[in-house]
Chain A
Amino acid sequence: GAVVSQHPSRVICKSGTSVKIECRSLDFQATTMFWYRQFPKKSLMLMATSNEGSKATYEQGVEKDKFLINHASLTLSTLTVTSAHPEDSSFYICSGTGRGASYGYTFGSGTRLTVV
């Protein structure tokens, strides 16, 4: 299995509101989910690593209170951008792996977040 479904694909929100992004593994059990952010013309930046049933590990410089990650089940991990600001506008992508994953790591289709 190797499908990760990410929703929404595109979201526009107002400053100060919160946005939740979901990543679901459809045909394997995602024991680990990576969350990335991509800035224009740049490569992916790892934000955090989440393991099912435990707290996420955040990379240096990533505010854990702002980017809330929940990985409560083997098929669902969520990233919530709280009190969004325009500088949070970016492309967010998840990547999962675990039992039943065909070739290691599978990316979701990404979420384009625009904060106005």
Chain B
Amino acid sequence: EDKVVQSPLSLVVHEGDTVTLNCSYEVTNFRSLLWYKQEKKAPTFLFMLTSSGIEKKSGRLSSILDKKELFSILNITATQTGDSAIYLCAVEANGQFYFGTGTSLTVIP
């Protein structure tokens, strides 16, 4: 059965900390892995990863994919209270998306 697992389920950190969110997957016909940030409404796209070992960066956020070990990590450095959100990982395979359960991140001042 195809599945996507995110860990941890929730995380509370202080401003300035660095966090690493994990997403592991078991799917057939993998095509891509996407990270989203969800605050109040719809998810906001962060990264799309298709190749192993190539880090994608956007400001304080970065992500990398390991297609051999079947996981991806999302790093956030120097966290801010505005980073508080649910971070969703989705894997595209077999013509559809499989979402993880999300990691709820809370950054406290």
A→B interface (CB under 8 Å): 2, 6, 34, 42-46, 49, 93, 95, 103-110
Whether the pair B96, A107 counts as a contact (CB closer than 8 A) is no
In the assembled complex, the CB of A42 is this many whole angstroms from the nearest CB of chain B, namely 7
Q: How large is the interface on B (under 10, 10 to 19, 20 to 34, 35 or more residues)?
A: 10 to 19
Q: For residue B48, which residues in chain A have a CB less than 8 angstroms away from its CB?
A: 103-104
Contact count A vs B, C-beta below 8 Å:
44
Whether the pair B101, A43 counts as a contact (CB closer than 8 A) is yes
Q: For residue A105, which residues in chain B have a CB less than 8 angstroms away from its CB?
A: 34, 45, 92, 97
Contact of B32 among A2, A104, A106 (CB under 8 A): A104
Q: Which residue of A lies closest to B88 (CB)?
A: A43
B→A interface (CB under 8 Å): 32, 34, 36, 41-45, 48, 88, 92, 95-102
Contact of A49 among B42, B96, B98 (CB under 8 A): B96
Q: A43-B88, A43-B102, A103-B48 are in contact. Are A108 and B97 (CB under 8 A)?
A: no
Query: How many angstroms from the CA of A44 to the CA of B42 in the assembled complex?
Result: 10
Whether the pair A42, B43 counts as a contact (CB closer than 8 A) is no
